[in-house]
């Protein structure tokens, strides 16, 4: 696996700094169901709207950008955290990274399969918006768990 | 065992005696890792037979111990 498409190691901290607050915020929005939309993030979409039909679903004159900022911040944080190089990039780390990616895609595909079978209606769309982020989340969890496990084992067999 | 086919991965048939060689040369895992420019976890994983190194890494390790690659890494036929 080539490492020229990975971010340098120092971006990992940036990734975590971005990821943790947005992730907590997103979780909070999900669990409480309330969406805190500060007023300064509300912008008008413009008066000359093409969709003049009053029964059109999106006939709104304003749009709040909280969701967009949350999604962008979460995605950028996940990308930076997941795909930054380790401090020492050797072949074992590349191998583990490839395995973790495969594992993450398998897990995510399984979840989507379950969603197709068991979830319907507008809840399905909600689940699909979460499914945008779960591959990277699974990858981060699996990759770091593998590295931590190896480190723990190598500490135990310290010669 | 006629008709029974077991899956034999590289990890099953690759053996090494890096630990012995390290003891002979009296260097730690960390020192060996620094010499071949990998992390200590990699050396540990290779010694514990959890990871099969690439050909380049195997040759680098053999060069450190001033031995041939076949003397350190052996391939066992598991048929």
Query: Closest Cα of chain B to A146: distance in Å?
Result: 11
CB contact under 8 Å between B41 and A91, yes or no, is no
pLDDT-derived band at B40 (thresholds 50, 70, 90) equals confident
Whole-angstrom Cα distance, residue B32 to residue B19? 11
C-alpha distances in angstroms, A29 versus A23, A62, A68, A156, B51? Answer: 10, 21, 13, 42, 43
Q: Domain spans of chain A?
A: 1-87, 90-159
Cβ-nearest to B54 among A88, A91, A147: A91
Give the count of beta carbons closer than 10 Å to the beta carbon of residue B68: 11
Domains of chain B: 10-75 (1.10.260.40)
Size of interface A-B (CB pairs under 8 A): 37
Q: Check CB contact of A31 with chain B, cutoff 8 Å.
A: no
B47 touches B18 (CB < 8 A): yes
A35-78, pLDDT tens digit by residue? 666 666 666 554 445 555 554 455 456 667 788 888 899 999 99
Query: Which single residue is written with the structure tokens 């034999």?
Result: B8
**pLDDT above 70 as % of chain A:** 77
ipTM over the 0.90 cut-off: no
Q: Which pTM does this prediction carry?
A: 0.79
Which residue in B has a C-alpha nearest to residue A90's C-alpha? B38
B44-62, pLDDT tens digit by residue? 889 988 888 999 999 999 9
- H helices, E strands: number in chain A: 5, 2
CB contact under 8 Å between A159 and B54, yes or no, is no
Q: Is the pLDDT of residue B76 over 50?
A: yes
């Amino acid at each position: 696996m080539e490492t020229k498409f990975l971010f340098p190691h120092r971006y990992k901290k940036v990734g975590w700094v971005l990821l943790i607050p947005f992730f907590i915020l997103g979780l909070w929005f999900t669990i409480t169901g309330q969406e805190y939309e500060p007023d300064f993030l509300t912008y008008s979409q413009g008066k000359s709207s093409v969709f003049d039909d009053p029964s059109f679903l999106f006939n709104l004159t304003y749009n709040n950008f909280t969701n967009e900022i949350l999604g962008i911040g979460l995605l950028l944080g996940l990308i930076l955290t997941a795909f930054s190089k380790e401090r020492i990039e050797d072949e074992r780390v590349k191998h583990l990274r490839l395995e973790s990616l495969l594992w993450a895609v398998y897990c995510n595909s399984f979840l989507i399969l379950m969603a197709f079978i068991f979830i319907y209606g507008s809840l399905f769309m909600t689940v699909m918006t979460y499914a945008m982020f779960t591959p990277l989340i699974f990858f981060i969890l699996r990759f770091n768990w593998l590295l931590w496990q190896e480190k723990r084992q190598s500490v135990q067999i310290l010669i | 065992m006629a008709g029974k086919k077991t899956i034999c991965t590289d990890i099953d048939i690759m053996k090494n005696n890096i630990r012995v060689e390290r003891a002979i040369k009296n260097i730690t895992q960390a020192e060996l890792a620094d010499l071949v420019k990998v992390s200590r976890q990699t050396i540990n994983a290779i010694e514990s037979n959890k990871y099969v190194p690439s050909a380049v890494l195997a040759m680098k390790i053999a060069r450190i111990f001033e031995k041939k690659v076949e003397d350190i890494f052996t391939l066992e036929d598991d048929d």
